[in-house]
Amino acid sequence: MINLEISPKLTTLVDQARQAAMAFLRPNSRKYDQAEHTYPQELDTLAALLDGLSASGGGAGAGGVRRAARSSKEVTNGANMSVALGTMEMCWGDAGLLLAMPRQGLGNAAIASVGNDEQVARYKGKWAAMAITEPDAGSDSGAIRTTAVRDGDDYVLNGEKIFVTSGERADCVVVWATLDRSKGKAAIKSFVVDRGTPGFELVRLEHKLGIRASDTAHFRLDNVRVPAANLLGSPEIKPDQGFTGVMQTFDNTRPLVAAMAVGIARAALEETRRLLTDAGVPIDYDRPPATQPAAAATFIDLESDYEAAYLLTLQAAWMADNGKPNSLQASYAKAKAGRSVTDITLRCVQLCGSVGYGEQELLEKWARDAKIMDIFEGTQQIQQLIIARRLLGKTSAQLR
């Protein structure tokens, strides 16, 4: 039976994350939003805290926890749950600063999810970004054109990658590439490319709507030689299995993106409740919403949407901790939380009027930060496709 009660051990970790969010992330949120592409040096002092929250041996980073292999008789809230809860708290402080935190890259999740023991040990303590998206391959990861050709003990990579979160600052980048484009998705593999590797060129950094404290990079790969030992997972091309190996990463990271969205949504709701109360519009949970002011009724509706996203996120993390397949639930959580946080933050801005729209409060910033939660790690539309395919028993070729 699912157990979403937060244990005392996790409560301590959540409290630590909340203290970090209150002491640094929230107070510096506006500063680094306005100073885009400036690395917050103060984050170095908080990196150790996030390493502890990852519960992965220090340095595996956000999502850097492996799926538990447990019997059906054991029920636990473990590493995935602790990272999800910690992520919620930190994004209550600031999502962009969390993404800028050393060793919290999505590439760390890929290494932990797909890498072997030697690779996990070798990249322990490293900051790993992840490069999937290309100019001609956005939401459809299977359309990747970056190639990887075996040459002796190396692979030679050629291609282009865009929208790489923390790409400039990371120690290495997990690059998705195809071994043979004629064999479709089954030939797509992920490779760890160390920064400084010849031919691995940073083209530019992107200017963005939100999460501006986090750098977003564009890379070009020109005959980049990567040791064969840096390929994550099996080098075999198995058409019957598709590219399930690299896609396992999303089962870990999508609940974390959902957790980020939940944290932002809660921040917006708490601030909106305060502003409404100060304006003489209290929220009364003992009265039907229809009998209260329209602003209060709207707020209660937004809170219910938040609760649904929160519970779906915990469910996906709990399933990973208990060795249960959670691809469907991960997409449930990501789709719900991504859509909800966008709606919640925009409507909170509307409820608070000119105060919500101005920069004296963080509501307008949270509305800008929220939108990416509905885009990266698979857009809203992609999540709906995944959910539909799994519920209807259809393949990607049958339902597009």
> Do 282 and 276 touch, CB atoms closer than 8 A?
yes
Residues 283-290: what's their mean pLDDT?
Answer: 95
Q: Pick left, alpha or beta for residue 61 (phi over 0 → left; psi -120 to 50 → alpha; otherwise beta).
A: left
DSSP SS3 for 147: strand
User: Which range, of 90-99, 207-216, 229-238, averages the lowest pLDDT?
Assistant: 229-238
Q: Is 3 exposed, middle or buried, given 0-12, 13-18 or 19+ CB atoms closer than 10 A?
A: middle
User: Which range, of 29-33, 60-64, 313-317, 339-343, averages the lowest pLDDT?
Assistant: 60-64
pLDDT computed for residue 69 by the predictor: 56
Query: DSSP letters along 178-244, please?
Result: ES-GGGGGGGEEEEEEETT-TTEEEEEE---SS-TTS-EEEEEEEEEEEEGGGEES-----GGGTTH
pLDDT tens-digit map of 182-192: 888 889 999 99
Range from 5-14, 39-48, 164-173 that averages highest in pLDDT: 164-173
91's enclosing H/E stretch is helix 79-93
CA distance 4 to 6: 6
pLDDT tens-digit map of 342-352: 999 999 999 99
> Do 16 and 49 touch, CB atoms closer than 8 A?
yes
- In 10 A of CB 294, how many CB atoms? 11
pLDDT computed for residue 55 by the predictor: 45
Instruction: Find the angle CA(5)-CA(369)-CA(307) to the nearest 5 degrees.
Output: 25
**pLDDT confidence of 65, banded at 50, 70, 90?**
low
pLDDT computed for residue 2 by the predictor: 72
The answer to whether residue 201 is catalytic is: no
**pLDDT confidence of 68, banded at 50, 70, 90?**
low
Tokens for 157, please give them. 């990579």
pLDDT computed for residue 25 by the predictor: 95
Residues 66-87: what's their mean pLDDT?
Answer: 73
pLDDT computed for residue 21 by the predictor: 95
Residues 148-154: what's their mean pLDDT?
Answer: 98
- Count of alpha carbons within 13 Å of 387, Cβ hemisphere only? 15
Check whether 195 has a pLDDT greater than 70: yes
DSSP SS3 for 63: coil
Place of tokens 């023991």: 117
Tokens for 38, please give them. 């400036």
Nearest CA to 230 out of 122, 152, 328 is that of: 122
Strand residues in the chain grouped as ranges (E): 128-131, 147-151, 154-165, 172-178, 188-194, 200-205, 216-227, 231-232
Q: Measure CA 361 to chain center.
A: 25
pLDDT computed for residue 61 by the predictor: 38
Q: Look up the CATH number of domain 127-239.
A: 2.40.110.10
- The CATH number corresponding to 244-392 among 1.20.120.450, 1.10.357.10, 3.10.105.10, 1.20.140.10 equals 1.20.140.10
List Cα–Cα distances, 344 to 26, 263, 302, 334, 353, in angstroms. Answer: 19, 12, 6, 15, 14
Position 314: which residue type? L
Tokens for 116, please give them. 């072997």
> Do 128 and 171 touch, CB atoms closer than 8 A?
yes
Q: Where in the chain is the domain with CATH 1.20.140.10?
A: 244-392
pTM over 0.85: yes
Residues 6 or more apart whose Cβ sits within 8 Å of residue 233: 114, 115, 189, 190, 245, 246
The CATH class, in words, for 8-121 is mainly alpha
pLDDT tens-digit map of 210-221: 999 999 999 999
Check whether 244 has a pLDDT greater than 70: no
pLDDT computed for residue 102 by the predictor: 87
pLDDT tens-digit map of 322-380: 889 999 999 999 999 999 999 999 999 999 999 999 999 999 999 999 999 999 988 99
Residues 77-103: what's their mean pLDDT?
Answer: 91
Q: Where in the chain is the domain with CATH 1.10.540.10?
A: 8-121
> Do 257 and 82 touch, CB atoms closer than 8 A?
no
Q: Where in the chain is the domain with CATH 2.40.110.10?
A: 127-239
- Count of alpha carbons within 13 Å of 299, Cβ hemisphere only? 25
Residue tagged active-site, from 89, 303, 364, 377? 377
pLDDT computed for residue 66 by the predictor: 55
Nearest CA to 116 out of 195, 234, 226 is that of: 234
Residues 21-34: what's their mean pLDDT?
Answer: 95
